[in-house]
Structure 1
Amino acid sequence: MTGTHGIAIRKKFPGIDEEIFQYVEGVLKNLEDFSDGDELHDAIGGILIESVGSDRDHEIRELCNQLMSSSCGASGRRTSNSTNGLLSNTLLAAPVQLSQMAETQEQQEEVIKSVWITERDDTMKVDQKKLEKAEAKLREKKEKRGTERKAPPAIVNTMATATQVVSKKDRALDAKGGSNTKDIRIENFDVAFGDRVLIQNSTISLAFGRRYALIGRNGLGKTTLLRMIAARVLRIPAHITVLHVEQEVSADDTTALLSVLECDEIRHRLLKEEKDVQQQVAAGSGVLGLSDRLSEIYTELQAIEADKAPAKASVILAGLGFSAEMQAQATKKFSGGWRMRIALARALFSQPDLLLLDEPTNMLDLKAIIWLETYLVTWATTLLLVSHDRHFLDAVPTDVLHLHSKAIISYKGNYENFLNTRMERQKNQQREYDSQMQLRAHVQEFIDKFRFNAKRASLVQSKIKMLEKLPILEPVEKETAVVFHFPEVDKLNAPILQLDEVSFRYGPDSPILFQNVDLSTTMTSRTCIVGDNGAGKTTLLKILLGDLAPTKGNRFCNRQLRIGYFSQHHVDQLDLRLSSVGLLQERFSGKPVEEYRRQLGRFGVSGDLALQQLASLSGGQKSRVAFSAMAAASPNFLILDEPTNHLDIETIEALGDAIRRYKGGVVLVSHDERLIRQICTELWVCGNNTVRCIEGGFDAYRKLVETEIQTTPS
């Protein structure tokens, strides 16, 4: 019968583990021990579920019932008292007297055994070895399943919030729409990110037609503030239009030019209505007033200068790097960076009352940056931007809003004026503080000296009252300096990294990006590669890295070369579920936590910041973590692709200082003018299917770009 049961198990669950099958088969040898299918399920159901899955429990229960039914049918009707079947040694005709049995224990030994001891056949015993093997197999499967299904730590859902005290008068005025002013004043507001307060009890005023730069260290809440304003969580008068350039345009069949034109909703609606009315007129529709409505539409289109819109949109796109062919391409054919440019073009074309720009130069090459500077200098409405580009901040803003110590302080002028004015303010604040401290010390000395002199009691009291009335001044709170530390390296003999007569194209039908490139680097190289977007700068870096093989020519590198590569998408590749310490632990396991924290501290990620989830950090803070992870591998040569994206001005300065102190070679791609001037001794320009060294450094390159912009037809 056992074989039949085993066949049934095999047939029902063909993939069952052998050890578990042997264990279950041993149990089924003793089906007579079970009264029904439920008891059998209690005995073998759990171990079968672990093997074949809990979703098949109903099949296991059904099989148990079938096995019990077949067992009863084969062996006849089961007795109601199962114990009778077991006590087969002696049948008792009368009650057993235990006292008498105890007196004659030796003679009655067999009777006692027959009553109290149930002797089973060896075949009824579970094979312990088989059971242990089955359980070990299950434990192994559980551990493996636990490893495979272990869910990664979830990203903490930390939300930014803003609160504001708004008077009833302002609410009523806003509801009635009685105010026509385009000036904006956001009073008495707080901004927090999770439990951390970013901005507290602050007020900002934005005069219509002024251009404001919001500056401050990474992680203080600049981007969060822009989002709160864009979402109107902070009070903005209802009649003021606000546009925040943050998301790239959707990828569809709409052309780049049409995508820009469609953002003018009034023009788009009028043109659509014009088309519908013309179709009705052509169809001979008898609807009265069609001709009059058509005339009204033409008048409205003329008033908004709708005929000039395509040319205006085309000029904006051209300034941002779109050729005539690219403007006619569908948005789905562009990368994310180019679609962000289209989003920026839409914002410039629609010209809202308040335009919010967050790091607009990150996606642009130098030519587009210079064009955008020139365009924004004549911006007619209100502009609020966040940028790390020092030259851009000197050229565009008329005012600076400095976010520091949870407060926002306004300064007139550009970034250079802000630095000078803040320095003077800090000097005056420190002088005033020092002067008051000296006064307090002098008065306190007088009070202590004559406190118990009865003749001078009244004078002492007046001095005490004077101290109490003095305003409480705070010393100048200086920002912590950011310092980067790249690892020390050993000197390598030349050549370090070299390209000889290199040409490259992505395929036989693809255009040649560049040809006959000769590039040689040493341990003292500070080479910057510049050029228009799409000229092949990142491709050239990948050839230097060895990730791409030249179509022609050769790449040579020192055998001891260890390259540290920072990609412009490096931050996007971080596991945001981890902390900064956890990221280093995952990539460089086996070291004490203190070592990871020291490594992060070399790039300004210290204290609680190192233990926060990466998802809660700002873009600049994530960049510091990425730099720390790159440097942890102890590279002796650095290749950096747009390393300044997301970094604040002070951190860019720190990066430049660290690169100057670094003993290894450096090749970077950047459009940050200040960083290039700070570190680079050699400038290579990508363009026109070649890479060439330019004499005169960055000044010569900027003049070249400005000349190209001036000669480009509008």
Structure 2
Amino acid sequence: MITFDSISKQYGSTVILDTSSFAFNPQERTGLVGVNGSGKTTILRMLGGAESPDKGTIKKASDLSIGYLPQEVEVLDSMTPLEIVLEPFKHLLNFESHLEHISNSLHESNVKESLHKIDKLYADMQFHDAYSLEARAKMILGGLGVPEKSWSEPVQFLSGGYRMRTVLGRLLLTSPDFLLLDEPTNHLDMDSLVWLEKFLGRHKGGMLIVSHDRDFLNRITTYTAEISNRALTLYKGNYDAYVLARDEAAAAALSRTRNLETKIAQAERFVERFKAKATKATQAQSRMKLLEKLKDELPETFQAEKSIDFTFPEPKQSGSIPLKFVNCTAGYGEKTVISNLSLLVNRGDKIAIVGPNGAGKSTLLKCAASLLEPKSGTMEIGHNATVRYFGQHQLEQLDPEITVHETVARQSVSTDKTFIRNILGAFLFSGDTVDKYVKVLSGGEKARLVLATILSNPGNVLLLDEPTNHLDIRSIEMLGDAMRDFGGTIVFVSHDEYFISKVANRIIEVRPDRVRDFPGTLHDYRDYIERMFADEPDSSQKGKQDVRNGADDVAVQKEQRIKDRETRKKLGRTIEKLEREIAQAEEKITILTEQLNNPANALNHVLLHETSSAIAAEEDALLECMSDLEERQAELAKMGVE
């Protein structure tokens, strides 16, 4: 096991972990989730050795090899992609010269040590199947979508996305025992994503994955770890199973809190009623001890974590055809990216543009936004269409010398301070953060700020290039809800399948040789992509068995929930009956006590005796009901809630 023992970690006043203990099984595939800033990358960096905890220890087997893919990669610009992927095996690729060097030094050094080096060199050759290394490296680069013509060129000529894929390729070829992957699907198109999923499915070791792509996590992971409220909680199952278990746990915790509060109120009433009675003093004292114990058991409450919660302003209606491409050809310099495109975008369309990287998806959006003039043909903006465009390059166009609030205020449809702060709050800018200068923001914060700026004045035609980058899973879900309900037209590029499924009502596929309306749903499109890799081996049998076991577990849990529901109903009816009897007994005791204390009855000794006896009998019945109620409530609390 990989064990984190009493780990504490913080940056300034921000506490990531507070004496938290947890463990990962190095054979399992675990998804690490949490809102932005919760500490997901920090945990990966600590496990990968890039950072150390402030307190506590991390324990793992000494022979466990760990490979780490960070979000921001550093590569040597002078090296080619193929050289970078093969770099860890340089000594094996130069086997003959390396062997000759060791052999020539036999007479100069310890013979036993030199023979050991030769044995190790031969063992490494066999273990890593050295003669197939270059072929496998090329297969990995091709699968990840790195253009073949660039394999022998310095990576300094490649985009950041292709550099990241190259470093990912190096990690996959080394095949360590345990993989640490920080947003591995960033910059991957669906072709490459499908290939990566199949490759990871065949990986024999474990992995810890941070990803904002919930569908990717659902297909790959067998456990989910949530970092929240300065601690980490491990759940069995993929992301969807985690959501179900988390919600059930939250509901159970709420139910337990309410049950404890009810018991505390009952105990306080009992103590208040009987503490002065000598005959009940022992029981009252016992209830006071119980009261202290119940208060200690009350769970600590935390502030709910934030995520984007946003609704678009209602846009003015555009004409029926807000965007129209007629025989449009576009590109950069001498390079043509899109040829003779004719396309109508209808009012109310929510179009997802999909396809491999470099095929022209962003180019199509830039043409629609009038940021790129067609080489031939036309792109027409329809009647009353107001176009707003979001692209990654806009992060660089933010004014670094103004604040977050001023940035949105300059573009907003309303100058009302409350409206602007609500927009900023929806994108996780609140309190003092709205007065931060743009120049001190992180890349993720800048991306959220640009989105907030655009969506504060969205027009009626939105063009969005990878709007979910730098957002966590919950925020992606919220943004998807808002875009789905938007009354205007949206054309967007995204590789997030969950987001596309939630928003899109039309799919356009862009490939180097064609642009077409895809005749089907996103699920159909993924099936189409998977058929391209039909010759690739399926995921490991272990992975398949994990999925089947997960399905069986869900079925068993469902059947048990049905049985538990009936038991809960019976207990609920019993508790309601006991609560009514307790209320009736307390009301009788109150009436009898008033009768006993009435000065008019002071000389009626028979009545006083009968009244005292009746009060004692009612108190005994009340005690019995309260004890019975506590037992039934305890049974219900053990069962939890649905």
**1:674 corresponds to:** 498
Q: 1:484 aligns with which of 297, 310, 313?
A: 310
What is the Cα deviation at residue 275 of structure 1? 6.4
**1:548 corresponds to:** 372
Determine helix, strand or coil for the equivalent of 2:476.
Answer: helix
**2:92 corresponds to:** 267
CA distance in 1, matches of 2:459, 2:444: 22
**1:200 corresponds to:** 18
Determine helix, strand or coil for the equivalent of 2:339.
Answer: strand
CA distance in 1, matches of 2:191, 2:227: 30
Give runs of aligned pairs for residues 304-453 of structure 1, distance below 5 A. Answer: 304-453=128-277
Q: 1:291 to 1:445 in 2, by over 3 A?
A: closer
Q: 1:699 aligns with which of 496, 518, 523?
A: 523
**1:186 corresponds to:** 4
What is the Cα deviation at residue 189 of structure 1? 1.1
What is the Cα deviation at residue 428 of structure 1? 2.3
Asked if structure 1 preserves the Cα contact closer than 8 Å seen for 2:310 and 2:423, the reply is: no
What is the Cα deviation at residue 539 of structure 1? 0.8
**In structure 1, what residue type is equivalent to 2:227?**
L
**1:162 corresponds to:** none
What is the Cα deviation at residue 685 of structure 1? 0.4
Determine helix, strand or coil for the equivalent of 1:204.
Answer: strand
Asked if structure 2 preserves the Cα contact closer than 8 Å seen for 1:212 and 1:397, the reply is: yes
CA distance in 2, matches of 1:634, 1:655: 14
**2:541 corresponds to:** none
Q: 1:425 to 1:614 in 2, by over 3 A?
A: farther
**In structure 1, what residue type is equivalent to 2:52?**
V
CA distance in 2, matches of 1:269, 1:473: 65
CA distance in 1, matches of 2:114, 2:481: 71
Determine helix, strand or coil for the equivalent of 1:519.
Answer: strand
Show CA shifts across 1:421-473 (max 9, x none): 22222232222222222211112111122233333222211111111123422
1:215 partnered with 2:33: yes
Determine helix, strand or coil for the equivalent of 2:533.
Answer: helix
Show CA shifts across 1:280-310 (max 9, x none): 79xxx99898997996545652344211211
**In structure 1, what residue type is equivalent to 2:81?**
A
What is the Cα deviation at residue 410 of structure 1? 0.6
**1:503 corresponds to:** 329
Asked if structure 1 preserves the Cα contact closer than 8 Å seen for 2:38 and 2:228, the reply is: yes
Q: 2:351 aligns with which of 527, 544, 565?
A: 527
Larger mean Cα displacement after TM superposition, 478-487 or 313-322:
478-487
Identity of aligned residues (%): 32
What is the Cα deviation at residue 196 of structure 1? 1.5
Asked if structure 2 preserves the Cα contact closer than 8 Å seen for 1:485 and 1:603, the reply is: no
1:233 partnered with 2:52: yes
Q: 1:632 to 1:589 in 2, by over 3 A?
A: closer
**In structure 2, what residue type is equivalent to 1:213?**
G
What is the Cα deviation at residue 648 of structure 1? 1.4
Asked if structure 1 preserves the Cα contact closer than 8 Å seen for 2:518 and 2:525, the reply is: yes
Determine helix, strand or coil for the equivalent of 2:534.
Answer: helix
Asked if structure 2 preserves the Cα contact closer than 8 Å seen for 1:429 and 1:476, the reply is: no
CA distance in 1, matches of 2:274, 2:513: 87
Q: 1:537 to 1:698 in 2, by over 3 A?
A: same
What is the Cα deviation at residue 679 of structure 1? 1.3
**1:77 corresponds to:** none
**In structure 1, what residue type is equivalent to 2:85?**
V
Q: 1:417 to 1:258 in 2, by over 3 A?
A: same
What is the Cα deviation at residue 513 of structure 1? 2.3
**In structure 2, what residue type is equivalent to 1:252?**
D
**1:660 corresponds to:** 484
CA distance in 1, matches of 2:488, 2:506: 15
What is the Cα deviation at residue 253 of structure 1? 3.7
Determine helix, strand or coil for the equivalent of 2:84.
Answer: helix
**1:252 corresponds to:** 77
**In structure 2, what residue type is equivalent to 1:597?**
R
Q: 1:406 to 1:299 in 2, by over 3 A?
A: closer
How many residues end up aligned between the 2 structures?
Answer: 526
Larger mean Cα displacement after TM superposition, 570-579 or 536-545:
570-579
**In structure 2, what residue type is equivalent to 1:606?**
S
**Structure number with larger C-alpha Rg:** 1
CA distance in 1, matches of 2:115, 2:267: 86
**1:472 corresponds to:** 297
Q: 1:298 to 1:188 in 2, by over 3 A?
A: closer
Asked if structure 2 preserves the Cα contact closer than 8 Å seen for 1:513 and 1:689, the reply is: no
Show CA shifts across 1:481-508 (max 9, x none): 6311323211122331111111224344
Determine helix, strand or coil for the equivalent of 1:429.
Answer: helix
**1:60 corresponds to:** none
Determine helix, strand or coil for the equivalent of 2:332.
Answer: coil
CA distance in 1, matches of 2:449, 2:348: 26
**In structure 2, what residue type is equivalent to 1:263?**
P
Q: 1:408 to 1:292 in 2, by over 3 A?
A: closer
CA distance in 2, matches of 1:291, 1:399: 45
What is the Cα deviation at residue 641 of structure 1? 0.6
Which ranges in structure 2 are unaligned for 5 or more consecutive residues?
Answer: 539-642
CA distance in 2, matches of 1:535, 1:492: 29
CA distance in 2, matches of 1:567, 1:245: 25
Larger mean Cα displacement after TM superposition, 478-487 or 351-360:
478-487
CA distance in 2, matches of 1:599, 1:462: 54
Q: 1:242 to 1:504 in 2, by over 3 A?
A: same
1:566 partnered with 2:384: no
Q: 1:604 to 1:393 in 2, by over 3 A?
A: same
Q: 1:450 to 1:411 in 2, by over 3 A?
A: same
What is the Cα deviation at residue 251 of structure 1? 4.8
Determine helix, strand or coil for the equivalent of 1:447.
Answer: helix
CA distance in 1, matches of 2:328, 2:338: 8
**In structure 2, what residue type is equivalent to 1:486?**
F
What is the Cα deviation at residue 392 of structure 1? 0.5
**In structure 2, what residue type is equivalent to 1:199?**
L
CA distance in 1, matches of 2:414, 2:364: 35
Q: 2:450 aligns with which of 597, 617, 626?
A: 626
Q: 1:690 to 1:514 in 2, by over 3 A?
A: farther
Asked if structure 2 preserves the Cα contact closer than 8 Å seen for 1:483 and 1:604, the reply is: no
Determine helix, strand or coil for the equivalent of 1:490.
Answer: coil
CA distance in 2, matches of 1:621, 1:326: 33
**In structure 2, what residue type is equivalent to 1:525?**
D
**In structure 1, what residue type is equivalent to 2:89?**
D
What is the Cα deviation at residue 554 of structure 1? 0.7
Q: 1:376 to 1:197 in 2, by over 3 A?
A: same
What is the Cα deviation at residue 399 of structure 1? 1.1
CA distance in 2, matches of 1:695, 1:303: 47
Determine helix, strand or coil for the equivalent of 2:188.
Answer: coil
Determine helix, strand or coil for the equivalent of 1:553.
Answer: strand
Larger mean Cα displacement after TM superposition, 313-322 or 512-521:
512-521
Larger mean Cα displacement after TM superposition, 292-301 or 563-572:
292-301
